[in-house]
Structure 1
Amino acid sequence: MTAPEAASGAAERIEAAARRLLDAAATGTPCAPVRDLIGATDQERAYQVQAAVNAYRTAGGQRVVGHKIGLTSPAVQAQLGVGSPDFGTLFGDMAYADREPMPLSRFLQPRVEAEIAFVLGRDLDVPSPTVADVVRATDHVLAAVEVVDSRIAGWDITIADTIADNASSGAFVLGTAPKRLADVDLPGAGMVLEHRGEPVSVGAGVACLGSPVAAVVWLARALGRLGTPLRAGEVVLSGALGPVVAVTAPGAFRARISGVGEVTAVFDEGSPA
């Protein structure tokens, strides 16, 4: 096989993987993993699939509002056989306000996790951003709940599957009480996620790569290498502070993060708009 033929074949597999994921989202029917098309560990190709899926979304009128960081937990990294996080893109139609009802029917296999969201006040377009750069660029932080979701049946994912599927993103809910970064002990910020008044997940900022700031530094460097730096106004979901929790029925999940605030994600039986 010649080099052009190999490149053409790779492009066709990337397009086929993107189409499989888009069809699953459109029909509400989870699909088979895409690793048969791109390999189980090829992160570069998986990000190419993610970019192709996202291009369809932006072509359809969706607006990019930020990014999410996944796989910040060493335990989850070990489960997938990787040694670093991954990232995905946040779109405007994924954003919900505190206590705003989210139709459960828009998701396929939703799970929730509590996080700290960074809202940027400056571009992070310097080469190899540092902790100091991230601190200067952050306007404020908010309590957040991320709804992770997989278009792949049974969450049967490898690292390539989840990256291709936009880092298994679904939606996110932001609190409404911004805090200055200087006023929060991010590594020591304790988190409790409650459902029906009972704790279902507990954790702290230190579980997120040692500090959520470190996670944002990782993302800023990763995007900078791709020539797509973080921009002022964008939201960054910095990673889970505790174990993920499955959502199986309508109801509410309240996250309380010490020093940061609280936020409630509400799922109802309504249909997507």
Structure 2
Amino acid sequence: MTLGPNDAAADWASDNVAEAVKHEELAALAEEILTAYRTGEPIEPLRDRVADFGLAEAYYVQTEQLKHFLAAGETLAGHKVGLTSLAMQQQLGVDEPDFGFFLKTMVHYDGATLPADDFISPKVEPEFGFVLTEDLEGPGVTVEQAKAAIGKIYPAIEIIDSRIRDWDIKLVDTVADNASCGAIAVSKTPLNVTVDELSEVQCTLRINGEAKVSGTGAAVMGDPIAPLAWLANTLGAQGVSLKAGQLILPGSFTKALPVVSGEEATADFGELGSLTIAFS
């Protein structure tokens, strides 16, 4: 049977109504996460609450939050790539990276003391912090092009946090929740290292001075430049480019460790440098 013009128009209208309804449902999930930011009260997992909730839908929820923050006058400071190490993928039961954003108000520096109560269930990860000296616009960005775009390289710590209750997350949950980003700490003193040495660099995560876990740059997708190229290409497919001056965190050397009030966390790069923050 061949559809007539009225039938085709009805199908088109039905599809558009369904899409509009789904966007309303996704916007409502974004609002729940924004409320969790404000109240500190976690929400239930998102993965089964909207039909066909895949990665595209999860990133839609994340983007709605970014739009909200920018409309409120916040400034985008950079992006983070998450779940790039085998340790983190095993910890959260996923097999691919994700990405999120962080705002200028989320960035802290050497010696900062962060109230633990500002987070729901914080954990820390030691990372590199790349400051870009030129734009990267994918798709098609190579590792060599990404490498050439990196200026200074800093010790960094990401404070991950979950607005999802009890860290009960699958990949789509953490993506929707801005890749579980809570805050960023970055040193004001760059590491004495070149981009060609990054895979060999070792970093130890210390809690109250005690070494807990260690890893090398090679733990970050085999080469910590690779997540930067992946991010540029993934965002580029959405029409978004990485900008010169932005800070990019390419992923953790180790698994994440929980922190509580009264503890210090250090990303210790040995003789290359370090970064310490405290929680009150």
Decide: shared fold, TM above 0.5.
Answer: yes
State the distance in 2 between where 1:187 and 1:86 align: 20
Distance 2:225 2:139 in 1: 17
> Which consecutive residues of structure 2, in runs of 5 or more, have no partner in the other structure?
1-10
Q: TM-score, normalised by structure 2?
A: 0.90
Contact kept, 8 Å, 2:88 with 2:256, in 1: the verdict is no
Paired amino acid for 1:13: E
Aligned to 2:99: 87
Q: Provide, for residues 179-238 of structure 1, a one-character-per-residue CA deviation record: whole Å limited to 9, x for no partner.
A: 476366211111111112211221111110001111111111111111111100000011
1:22 aligns with 2:7: no
- What's the % identity of the aligned pairs? 36
Q: Secondary structure at the match of 1:236?
A: strand
Q: How does 1:128-139 map to 2 (within 5 A)?
A: 128-139=140-151
Match of 2:89 in 1: 77
Which structure's CA Rg is the greater one? 2
Deviation at 1:61, TM superposition (A): 1.2
Q: Root-mean-square deviation (CA), in Å?
A: 1.9
Question: The residue matched to 2:48 in structure 1 has which SS?
Answer: helix
1:60-75 to structure 2, matched below 5 A, reads 60-75=72-87
Q: Which runs of 5+ in 1 are unaligned?
A: 269-273
Distance 1:134 1:29, change over 3 A: same
Q: Is the Cα contact below 8 Å between 2:45 and 2:164 reproduced in 1? A: yes
- Of 237, 240, 245, the residue aligned with 1:225 is 237
Which residue of 165, 181, 190 maps to 1:153?
165
Bigger drift between 112-121 and 52-61 goes to 52-61
Matched AA of 2:170: T
Counterpart amino acid of 1:17? Answer: L
Higher mean C-alpha displacement, 53-62 vs 79-88: 79-88
Q: Does structure 2 retain, via aligned residues, the 8 Å contact 1:139–1:180?
A: no
Q: Is the 2:139–2:232 Cα contact (8 Å) retained in structure 1? A: no
The alpha carbon displacement at 1:72 in A equals 0.5
Q: Which runs of 4+ in 1 moved over 4 A?
A: 78-82
Letter in 1 for 2:134: R
Cα distance in 2, alignment partners of residues 220 and 123 from structure 1: 9
Matched, 1:98 2:110: yes
Shift of 1:260: 4.3
